[in-house]
Chains A and B, each alone.
Chain A
């Protein structure tokens, strides 16, 4: 399937790097002929949202003190192939964070030509937006279409055969503290709790929890230039991932508004479980566990939330 797609589209999917030195040997990469897509990848280190909100990207170009507009090269449409439902949900949440109340056009453009193909072994169809969804059934896949593009792929393709839709029982969601409905009130109440001091003792403030998070998106911008003589400069403005955990994140020339790591840790929880729910109606977390796995200080946000829920409910 993937092979037939790579002729027409740029296909990105999870592959096995066989690198045992990292926690997850799977990674999303551009699929070429001969690459084997791993449909059981579990969790990659960097989430596939990297294709929509890359580590670094150009947001504008300038030459001789004037903005220049490059025609977007005729890029092939992209397909993110083999996404699991957690990663699909991450993309959906990031979509919403970048849309309201003012839509970020740079992100929207990245998404415009990107199509999402997901695979799962239980759920007949995802709850979030997708183009094509595959559900493993015995030795075959049951396919549902979620968009005109998805239907177009399936239509007239000999690989697919129409069947009746089976109704499947839905599965109970995993029990996780992030689903506690009062969580935002609890976090708001806990601002002075000693847990934040305790976390400050162990946390390095390295920001890895934000870099591996599919729903984290804070950024910094910077100009890069090639200088050719006085006043003749050519370059671009880039935006790159930033992290609210790093010192100076909220500082200006005369003042640092969040100088203490303790407050930056609290802000991380507050953003995910208070600010985002208030803004968009969902938590800024899909419970993928990346931040737990990659934290060098072994901080587990589940433990923090469970403690807070117990104390403040």
Chain B
């Protein structure tokens, strides 16, 4: 029983330095470790602990370049996430990780990146968007297609509009519930507005139903399965490939993912 990588489920102490409501039921937390910085790569996730409530896996939403802090976005749905949504500046939490593979950013260098996301799926991708924004010269171009139910639920909208300087941003809502200058309609109807180039890498995160409809559209444009990357969300209790909650087929989302090439998972119906 010897292994260089170990996990004892102990936590790093951390403090909420900023808590901001992103929309009705989603909170963004800025977190600082009490000791040292969290080193991670875009696309990785942490296990976030609230004593007395439990632990959840959550994607990091800021670029690693920020170093001294990182952010996460949590939707209030269950016991743990509801309690997390009540957190205030100065509250103490526990952090484990980072876990997962994250994006192979070198592989994305000199490529035309297309980010497609739906709903809260934008959160983990924001880490990559911020990273690309900080290293513009390394990437050829960036297009973002992001859809939400209504304008209120567009997360990080101010930042995304600011991305316009280096990226082509298309925001769409299923229904307008107020003034809205962006697109309307589900994401699938706007795929044809993307600039399709031979050097394309598509990066996606959203509800499973989104993949079902978007992937056939992408395939119509002849985008190969290896160039489509999907960030998967799963129930997780350990983050280290033990608890079995996140598996599909012979893959562990916590170890082999959460970022997968579509070619790796297309034969497994449970994946998406």
Binding site for B on A (CB under 8 A): 59-60, 62, 65-67, 69, 95, 97-106, 108-109, 111, 217-223, 225, 227, 233, 235, 237, 239, 242, 244, 249-255, 257-258, 263, 267, 270-271, 274-275, 278-279
Contacts and interface: CB of A to CB of B under 8 A. Distances in A.
A261 to B, nearest CB: 14
Nearest to A276: B250
A83 to B, nearest CB: 17
A103 B8 CA distance: 8
Nearest to B209: A255
Interface stretch (B122-130, B214-222, B239-247): B239-247
Contact of A59 (B3, B9, B81): B9
Interface of B: 1-3, 5-11, 13, 49, 51-55, 75, 77-78, 81, 91-92, 94, 207-208, 233-235, 237-238, 240-250, 255, 270
B51 A250 contact: no
Contacts of B75: 253
Contact of A221 (B7, B54, B92): B54
B242 A67 contact: no
A250 B54 contact: no
Contacts of A233: 51-52
Contacts of B81: 253
Contact of B1 (A67, A111, A235, A258): A111
What 4 A-B pairs have minimum CB-CB distances, sorted nearest first?
Answer: A105-B8, A218-B244, A103-B3, A253-B77
Contacts of A244: 244
Contacts of A59: 9
9 contacts: A60-B9, A69-B10, A221-B237, A222-B54, A235-B51, A250-B245, A252-B234, A267-B270, A278-B250
B250 A104 contact: no
Nearest to B4: A103
Contacts of A99: 1-3
Contacts of A270: 249-250
Contacts of B243: 218-221, 242
A98 B245 CA distance: 15
B270 to A, nearest CB: 6
A253 to B, nearest CB: 4
B208 A66 contact: no
A60 B2 CA distance: 22
Contacts of B13: 66-67
